[in-house]
Chain A
Amino acid sequence: KAGVTQTPRYLIKTRGQQVTLSCSPISGHRSVSWYQQTPGQGLQFLFEYFSETQRNKGNFPGRFSGRQFSNSRSEMNVSTLELGDSALYLCASSSERSTDTQYFGPGTRLTVL
């Protein structure tokens, strides 16, 4: 099976812009989770989608949003970018439950100037 893919791998944006990141899960996986990793805050959970519905949500402002399509592919959007949004954004897919093994993509490195 192909692994989790994320596009783009690298992205440079300026403050105030918005960005959309994409994640394609492993075939057959229905759960997709998103994480933010920064040197200052470490790894933080953004949200999880399952069957096109947001199932769990971390403590991030409303500028961070996501969605999942019927083929389980997921996108996350960050509006009105701030310098502090510079981070590695990781996507993970799993079969169904939070206890299932999560498989991570390589991440998207976002730099906000």
Chain B
Amino acid sequence: GIQVEQSPPDLILQEGANSTLRCNFSDSVNNLQWFHQNPWGQLINLFYIPSGTKQNGRLSATTVATERYSLLYISSSQTTDSGVYFCAVALSGGSYIPTFGRGTSLIVHP
């Protein structure tokens, strides 16, 4: 099956810092999404971004499908950004069966 690798596995920042999270995948995909799981377990869908760039407030994401990676940028981080960030991909053609990466655990200190 498709392999999804996220880096770094852990990240600790001071409030106000910027960060870049990476998601590499091993095959052609037509569906890539980024999620945030807060420390209480609530999962939130951040972006659907199989290619190109999107921005939502302090968060933006870029996917280069031909090179099989996606980046999630967090600018001016806040303590509420803490949690685990997952990317999930689904193979091109046919059914939507997402494969998740192991996530990047982010801690933002005040």
Contact = CB atoms under 8 A, between A and B. Distances in A.
Given A42-B102, A42-B103, A99-B31, A57 B97 contact: yes
B31 to A, nearest CB: 6
B102 A48 contact: no
Contacts of B95: 55-57
A107 B45 contact: no
A88 B97 contact: no
Contacts of B45: 92, 101-104
A98 B41 contact: no
Interface in A81-97: 88, 90, 92
A64 interface: no
Contacts of B33: 102
Contacts of A99: 31, 48
A43 B88 contact: yes
B25 interface: no
Nearest to B86: A43
Contacts of A107: 41
Interface string A46-59: 00100000011111
Contact of B90 (A42, A57, A98): A98
A95 to B, nearest CB: 12
A44 interface: yes
A47 B97 CA distance: 8
Nearest to B95: A56
Interface of A: 42-45, 48, 55-59, 88, 90, 92, 98-99, 101-104, 106-107
Given A45-B98, A55-B96, 16 more contacts: A42-B101, A42-B103, A43-B86, A43-B100, A43-B103, A45-B99, A55-B95, A56-B95, A56-B97, A57-B97, A92-B43, A98-B90, A98-B96, A99-B31, A101-B45, A101-B48
